[in-house]
């Protein structure tokens, strides 16, 4: 499982799942570039990664802007000389009923969650092809993209369905360059974004936050929601040598909530 000698770039690394993945990659020995639209949180995560005695850096990046995406990859390569792994994790969502979603809502979510993932993938793949020794692209999708009924909103689900489709197509087209492309579909995961969603749903239904958290966990066959570390563990595996022949796959990490 050692990732020594590998350089990884994690988007949305400032908190939640992205932070957990960046730190787990560092613990496995990878050099880590932590990108986030918030430079302060990116720096905090980079410092946590550096505690494992590996090189790290923070990058301010807007993953809905192609120029910013390209600059992010360029900064990583300028500092570390290569790019072997990218985790496309940056994303946005909020709780909304399908009939309340606006064009602006749709555009904001697709700008980051779909367009951003594609152009991050493309920029990373361009660098990996130039290097000539393959690479790993790991996209963070969601069980929302598989039709999970309690998704935060329909536009978000559409973006994650797009990520799943992109993963499969990109894997087939980039395989000739020894680039593996996979995605992870988290289920209910207790992060700051999930906490906001739970609080909103609790207020809407007139129950406590604790009751709503329990309601979210009740349908999960294994009986518990994810912690960010659960997603990070799969990301480290997919980035490592044990996954060298795994590509075009989309793995649910959801305690059995949505059979894939």
Chunk the chain into consecutive blocks of 10 residues (it has 260) and report each block's average pLDDT, rounded to whole numbers. Answer: 95 97 98 98 98 98 98 98 98 95 98 98 98 98 96 96 98 98 96 85 93 92 96 98 98 94
Q: CA-to-CA distance for 59 and 37, rounded, in angstroms? A: 8
Instruction: Spot the catalytic one: 80, 119, 148, 156.
Output: 156
Q: What is the pTM of this model?
A: 0.95
pLDDT of residue 62: 98
Question: Residue 148 is encoded by which pair of tokens?
Answer: 């999970």
- What fold is seen in the domain 7-189+227-253? Rossmann fold (3.40.50)
pLDDT of residue 46: 98
Task: Confirm whether 97 is a catalytic residue.
Answer: no
Phi/psi region, residue 178 (left: phi>0; alpha: psi -120 to 50; beta: rest), is left
pLDDT of residue 1: 67
CB contact set of 184 (below 8 Å; sequence gap of 6+): 138, 139, 140, 141, 231, 234, 235, 238, 250, 251, 253
Instruction: State the Cα angle at 29 between 54 and 190, rounded to 5°.
Output: 95
Residue from 20, 165, 37 nearest 108 by CA: 37
| Domain spans of the chain, in order of start | 7-189+227-253, 190-225
């Amino acid at each position: 499982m050692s990732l020594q000698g590998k350089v990884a770039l994690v988007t949305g690394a400032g908190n939640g799942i992205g932070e957990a993945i960046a730190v787990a990659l560092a613990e496995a020995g990878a050099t880590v570039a932590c990108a986030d639209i918030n430079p302060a949180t990116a720096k905090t995560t980079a410092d946590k990664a550096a505690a494992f005695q590996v090189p790290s850096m923070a990058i301010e990046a807007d993953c809905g802007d192609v120029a910013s995406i390209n600059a992010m990859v360029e900064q990583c390569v300028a500092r570390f000389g290569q790019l072997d792994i990218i985790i496309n994790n940056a994303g946005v969502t909020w709780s909304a009923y399908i009939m309340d979603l606006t064009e602006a809502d749709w555009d904001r979510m697709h700008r980051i969650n779909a367009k951003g993932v594609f152009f991050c993938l493309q920029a990373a793949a361009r660098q990996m092809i130039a290097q000539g020794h393959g690479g790993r692209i790991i996209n963070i999708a969601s069980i929302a993209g598989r039709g999970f009924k309690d998704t935060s909103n329909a536009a978000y689900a559409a973006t994650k369905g797009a990520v799943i489709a992109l993963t499969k197509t990109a894997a087939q087209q980039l395989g000739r360059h020894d680039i593996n492309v996979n995605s992870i579909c988290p289920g209910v995961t207790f992060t700051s974004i999930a906490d906001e969603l739970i609080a909103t749903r609790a207020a809407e239904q007139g129950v406590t936050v604790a009751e709503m958290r329990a309601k979210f966990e009740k349908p999960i066959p294994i009986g518990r929601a994810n912690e960010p570390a659960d997603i990070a563990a799969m990301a480290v595996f997919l980035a490592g040598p044990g996954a060298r022949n795994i590509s075009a796959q989309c793995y649910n990490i959801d305690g059995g909530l949505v059979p894939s």
